[in-house]
Amino acid sequence: MPDRAKDRRTERFDAADEAAAEVARRLDGRHALVLTDFDGTLAELVPMPGDAKVSEHVRGALDSLAALPHLTLGVVSGRLRQDVVRRVGPAAEYAAGLHGLEISGPSVRFRHQALNEVEPIIARIAADAARRLAWCPGCFLENKHCALTCHVRLTPSELAEQALEEFEAIAEPYLEARVLRLLTGSKAMELLPAVDWHKGRAVDWIRARVAARLDRPVSVLYLGDDRTDEDAFTGLRDDDFAIGVGDRPHTHMIDARLEGPPAVGQFFSSLETLRRD
Ligand SMILES: [Mg+2]
């Protein structure tokens, strides 16, 4: 059972290497399972999801971390699993997509059955939304087949709310029937299968596989910048470590905060150096 203290104190480390030193101290020889979100954590947030890139610095740090024998690396994202794999490369031994609804790792695969069930529904809503939101400048749909995101980051702010309201109205029957659920972001809304499965469940699933494979306990180090990452933070245990990235809330659930992807890269570089000692 999750035993994370509700009022865990957040330490804001000014330097990424201080945070890394604290993590190294806390892990103290245990196997580290480093699980990280992608957008806003490994890669800078960009208006078009297709443009998101991992910088050379972050990629180098990820590759060095992945080479450590006492550490396993994975990415947990709202993107499709294969999109995560393509953008991060082989450094990520585990890749979870669609907020954990699909996961792959060494000789293991998970795909929530609800994904197949909602595919025809998402296709209908996507077609409907494309027609009904055609009036809105800058609004675009990201169709992940088992999930659908309506982005309004490029829409004039006075129209954005109206567009999102219309998107929600199209999905309303499926939301009421609890077939789909709605995730609201700052400039986007996403429809997903309404199942009790999220990034926190994905973390548990991956932790269990890694612990079984190594036959030893595993401490999780989780990094994320978004509301969906709070599901992962909430499920962490006392010997895990939570890092919030950027300025989003979740203050009571994290141990440390880093400013953005460049600081995450710096943190990974410091962690790699420390763990070699
Ligand atoms: Mg994110």
CA of 36 to the centre of ligand 1 (A): 9
Residue 5 confidence (pLDDT): 47
- Which superfamily, per CATH, for 16-112+197-276? HAD superfamily/HAD-like (3.40.50.1000)
Read off the pLDDT of residues 124-135 as tens digits, 9 standing for 90 and up.
999 999 999 999
Mean pLDDT, rounded, for 169-186? 95
Surface-to-core class of residue 196, CB atoms within 10 Å of its CB (0-12 exposed, 13-18 middle, 19+ buried)? exposed
- pLDDT of residue 1 exceeding 60, the answer is no
- pLDDT of residue 177 exceeding 70, the answer is yes
CA of 46 to the centre of ligand 1 (A): 11
Question: Strands (DSSP E) along the chain, which ranges?
Answer: 31-36, 71-76, 94-97, 102-105, 108-111, 140-143, 148-151, 180-184, 188-193, 218-224, 241-245, 256-258
Taking the model in full, what pTM does it have?
0.91
CA of 254 to the centre of ligand 1 (A): 15
CA of 215 to the centre of ligand 1 (A): 31
CA of 33 to the centre of ligand 1 (A): 18
Least confident of 30-44, 191-205, 246-260: 246-260
Q: Quick one: what percent of the chain has pLDDT higher than 70?
A: 92
- Which superfamily, per CATH, for 114-193? Trehalose-6-phosphate phosphatase related protein; domain 2 (3.30.70.1020)
CA of 236 to the centre of ligand 1 (A): 18
